[in-house]
Amino acid sequence: MELKTVRDVEVAGRRVLARVDFNVPLDKAGEITDDTRIRAAVHTINYLVENGARVVLVSHLGRPKGGPDPKYSLKPCAARLAQYLDRPVKLAEDVIGPSARALNASLRSGEIMMLENVRFEPGEEKNDPGLIRALAELADLFVNDAFGTAHRAHASTAGVAAHLPAVAGFLMQKEVYIMGKALAAPDRPFVAIIGGAKVSDKIGVIDNLLGKVDTLIIGGGMANTFLRAQGHATGNSLVEEDKVALAGELLARADGRILLPRDVVVAETFQADAAHKVVAADQIPADWMALDIGPGSAQTFAGAIREAMTVVWNGPMGVFEMAPFARGTFAVAEGIAASEGCTIVGGGDSVAAVEAAGVADRITHVSTGGGASLEFLEGRDLPGVAVLQRK
């Protein structure tokens, strides 16, 4: 789909309500530990400012309990953004109250204000009509550049589009275009890698991708359920017993296109210092658990990935937060980085893995959306995208 963007509409002199995703991690002192999402929005904000818009930024941060909480204030985000833009970013003391309205009324072309955390308003997650109208009254145009929240039908992500013309920011456009092309018209071979703990979390993704990919690689804890479906003993490994039959059905449907681990790293306990060893995937000892794919599997997976022209990855191959069980995930990350095709990484754990492996800058596209990228790969319509105008 080709979305209308900020380039396709007149922004000079107009008040633009721009939904951004500044839901960044903070340490105990309230300092930002990763500002990737803030940096990702700079392109769109700069464009609006340089073209004379009056910019009203709206975002959430964390999960406040339906009211103002200093711990979740956007103050650090406003300060960090001001550094990147090299211009002031005025932060309102509220979302739709007196402070926000006063700042909005005084806003001049090329100036930026930020509303306080939109989740301080209980109506945000309820898509409340009153909050929607109040937000819409602050602007003449709505720009959604928050792909990370596009799967939520909230007041600031989808609701305001009922009252304002709605177009995409550059980040939203990039996310939708790149992932949309990978699913609709991929260069082949098309390889998808799906990992993570549970099959139940990724059923929709696997189901949607099976009809599109040339090879579907499955690793992580969910691979155990597929190994059980093949009749293998899995020891103390995580297995979703109620999904074993479904895993068997997916294997039958795949007709040989699903690639499972042939060896695994097993441990006696779920601890970084646990005794561990490599065994064949069909020979997991009774009292041991699989916590990573083995070196043979890593080599096979990386080989298939390097030959692919389109690669999509969502979910780690093991418990990569523990060093002894990170090698499989890092091998996949390095295989993706070595691919000469279009490579897409989505999902918080996968993004963390490519960054930890030091290869993020060699990936075609690292998605800013965890849940949103997952639902996109499932083939679902995302509310925050569905409301945007098409060309």
Q: Which residue in 222, 168, 167 sits closest to 196, CA to CA?
A: 222
Q: Which residue in 40, 47, 59, 41 sits closest to 11, CA to CA?
A: 47
Name the catalytic one among 348, 362, 379, 380: 348
CB neighbourhood size of 227 (10 A): 24
**198 labelled catalytic:** yes
Name the catalytic one among 15, 37, 119, 327: 37
Q: Which two tokens stand for residue 171?
A: 């980040």
**130 labelled catalytic:** no
β-strand pairing of 276-280 with 289-293: unpaired
Asked if residues 207 and 218 have their Cβ atoms less than 8 Å apart, the reply is: no
- Which secondary-structure segment (H or E) carries 299? helix 295-306
CA distances from 217 to 170, 209, 279, 303, 304 (A): 31, 11, 19, 12, 9
Name the catalytic one among 198, 212, 262, 306: 198
- Coil vs helix vs strand at 387: coil
**371 labelled catalytic:** yes
Q: In what order do the strands lie in the sheet with 289-293?
A: 276-280, 263-267, 289-293
Cα–Cα distance for residue pair 341/364, rounded to 1 Å: 8
Cα–Cα distance for residue pair 17/143, rounded to 1 Å: 6
Name the catalytic one among 204, 371, 379, 380: 371
**181 labelled catalytic:** no
- Active-site annotation, residues: 37, 198, 348, 371
